[in-house]
Structure 1
Amino acid sequence: MTVRPTTAYIGIGANLGDARANVDDALARLAALPGGRLLRHSKHYRSAPIDSSGDDYVNAVACIETGLGAAALLAALHGIELAHGRERPYRNAPRTLDLDILLYGDEVIDTAALQVPHPRMHQRAFVLLPLLEIAPAVEIPGLGPALALAGAVAAQDITRLD
């Protein structure tokens, strides 16, 4: 379904294979999604895995304009993940690529398949810091300005790579 163009923020992470290359390829694929365009993206960040073991993650956040509805966008993101060999053996498993819809316009979505805003985005430095880099005034529906939430994640281990 095509909808009026909507600004969406996408969280990107990878910690298997060439994680940085996987993040860069995801950015290129986001730019090529039909009916949309990549508006901007953050620098790359390194963060430790949450609630699991494994290599550190490379993370970024992209801002896109899309004509896809939220469910269709989620399906497109899953297609990009599958192209990278993404498997989902258990929650927080290491992954070749992870793409999450963080924000979809100012919508609040709560279905079995999709929750927007992403329900844990305000608890994760690897989401908030790259998001604030590209959208310092962004508001998270139901939570308020993202900047006001950054202090709560300040102790988390995260490093900007470029």
Structure 2
Amino acid sequence: MTRRLAEPIRQAMTRHGAPIVIALGANLGDRSQSLDAAVREIAELPLTSDVVCSDPVSSVAMTRDGPDPTKPGYLNAVATARTRLAPSLLLAGLHAIEQRHGRVRFERWGDRTLDLDLIAYGAITSDDERLTLPHPRAHERDFVLAPWLAVDPDAHLPGHGAVADLVATLAEAT
């Protein structure tokens, strides 16, 4: 973690931790079982509590070239929680969960047994190459925004505004 993030992280923390948002997705194997297990494992991360997960939604696989209906479809969900883990440690924990579920990082945008993306960590913004916050494409992904809105109707994506407004904007564009 870069030094410039240290103070914002301290500010984001409360006694109960910073609010976090994690997007979950899988398009290989038993997708539903993978998401359920991942949510349980997120709840078991140290210094992490209050995990709430949306119902899963289906989506078309996103590739480098855009949506690809010829690829196996995704099952997606969003979990909110609170953590006192630093963002870099939380990300390491999420990567460890992915690895336990057989995630292999051969190609970017490839098929996945499990994908866990840290969407937001409080109101922190970061353009660090190891961890960009908020997630750089979250504001344009209905399969992230709609499930997030379902578990937190007052949700805000730092730098982009109310999630309800973002969902409405995406709906108007389709």
Q: So what's the TM-score if we normalise by structure 1?
A: 0.90
1:29 matched to 2:46? The reply is: no
Q: Does 1:69 align with 2:86?
A: yes
Does residue 118 of structure 1 match 2:135?
A: yes
Counterpart residue number, 2:98: 81
User: Counterpart in 1 of 2:5?
Assistant: none
What runs of 5+ residues in structure 2 fail to find an aligned partner? 2-8
> Once the two structures are aligned, what percentage of the paired residues are identical?
39
Root-mean-square deviation (CA, aligned residues, Å) is: 2.0
State the one-letter code of the partner of 2:106.
P
Cα distance in 1, alignment partners of residues 56 and 39 from structure 2? 11
Residue range with higher mean Cα deviation, 135-144 or 26-35:
135-144
Q: Larger radius of gyration, structure 1 or 2? A: 2
Which one-letter code corresponds to 1:98 in the other structure?
D
Which structure carries more helix by proportion?
A: 2
Name the amino acid aligned to 1:87: V
Partner of 2:72: 55
1:153 is aligned to 2:165: no
Q: What 5-or-longer segments of structure 1 have no aligned partner?
A: 158-162
Distance 2:51 2:61 in 1: 28
Residue in structure 1 matched with residue 120 of structure 2 by the alignment: 103
Question: 2-side partners of 1:14 and 1:39: how far apart?
Answer: 19
CA 10–156 in structure 1, closer or farther in 2 if over 3 Å, else same: farther
Q: Which residue of 1 aligns with 2:55?
A: 43
CA distance in 2, matches of 1:18, 1:44: 13
The answer to whether 1:6 aligns with 2:18 is: yes
Specify the alignment match of 1:160 in structure 2.
none
Query: C-alpha displacement at 1:156, in angstroms?
Result: 9.1
Q: Report if the CA contact (8 A) 1:30-1:38 is conserved.
A: no
- Range with greater deviation from structure 2 (86-95 or 48-57): 48-57
Q: Which string of whole-angstrom CA distances, capped at 9 and with x for unpartnered residues, describes residues 104-128 of structure 1?
A: 0111121011111111001111000
- Name the SS of the counterpart of 1:12 in structure 2: strand
CA distance in 1, matches of 2:79, 2:42: 8
Residue 151 of structure 1: how far off its partner (Å)? 2.5
Runs of 4 or more, structure 1, over 4 Å off, are: none
What amino acid maps onto 2:36 in structure 1?
Answer: D
Match of 2:4 in 1: none
Output the CA distance in 2 between the equivalents of 1:54 and 1:16: 10
Distance 1:156 1:19 in 2: 29
SS in 1 for 2:62: coil
